[in-house]
A = this chain, B = another copy of it.
Amino acid sequence: MMRRDGRAANALRPVKITRNYLKHAEGSVLVEFGDTKVICNATVETRVPSFLKGKGSGWVTAEYCMLPRATHTRNQRESSKGKLSGRTHEIQRLIGRSLRAVVDLEMLGERSILIDCDVIQADGGTRTASITGAYVALADALQTLVDNGELAANPLREAVAAVSVGIVEGTPFLDLDYPEDSGAEVDMNFVMTSSMRFVEVQGTAEAEPFTLEQMDTMRSHAIEGLARLFEIQREALKA
């Protein structure tokens, strides 16, 4: 089965990471996975959530939002609905956990890094693009703290990135775009660190339960894609 855009089953879309995208944030990245575009802004705050106060440890958290017209038809703003959807809660908790997995929070000291992931255009994979871009914004914000002398060393232990895999008409595909994703029977997201260990695995059968063999093929595709994403992050951070 051929993919709509001619990609191989285990190929990523073109991925682009632009650093210093906006001027105010300590780290500011525009990440693009094909037509999916997310602005990731990292803010350093000199306070921690109340459960960490006085413990000498820091925190990393994230917020996620879509512009109302990031999507094909317009979505109502969560600010005018007066509450966040379950989907938003789920995604921002996922981004935060993924980033904390690669930061030595004690080295960070009593500081918080808050990453705002704002999707300005959506075409599938907004959460995986967000994690992948947020890592780079986080790295920039932490390096600023080192450069300013506020931190003696960078508390990043390794990189983190994420990718989706899905089963479309029975075939496992890497990095689904929106048309593929909306027709997928199974949708999985893998978050890994650059030592190729898992931080999060989330798989959902949208239409039909999946077998152990299918899970293994999806996992292989994801590992290949993630290896490529770690390269792209490294190149972006070198520039």
Contact = CB atoms under 8 A, between A and B. Distances in A.
A56 B211 CA distance: 30
Interface string A3-31: 00000000000000000001111001000
A79 B191 CA distance: 27
A79 B116 CA distance: 13
A145 interface: no
Interface stretch (A128-136, A169-177, A201-209, A228-236): A201-209
A80 interface: yes
Nearest to A209: B197
Contacts of A120: 22, 39, 118, 120
A63 B198 CA distance: 30
A119 to B, nearest CB: 11
A69 B41 contact: yes
A164 interface: no
A169 to B, nearest CB: 17
Interface in A98-113: 101
B210 A74 contact: no
B198 A203 contact: yes
Given A35-B23, A200-B203, A79 B89 contact: no
Interface residues of A: mostly helix, strand, loop or mixed?
Answer: mixed
Interface string A205-233: 10001111001000100000000000000
Given A67-B118, A69-B116, A86-B93, A200 B195 contact: no
B39 A63 contact: no
Contact of A89 (B65, B89, B197): B89
Interface string A59-73: 000010101111110
Interface of A: 22-25, 28, 35, 37, 39, 41, 43, 45, 63, 65, 67-72, 74, 77-86, 88-90, 92-93, 97, 101, 114, 116, 118, 120-121, 188, 192-193, 195, 197-205, 209-212, 215, 219
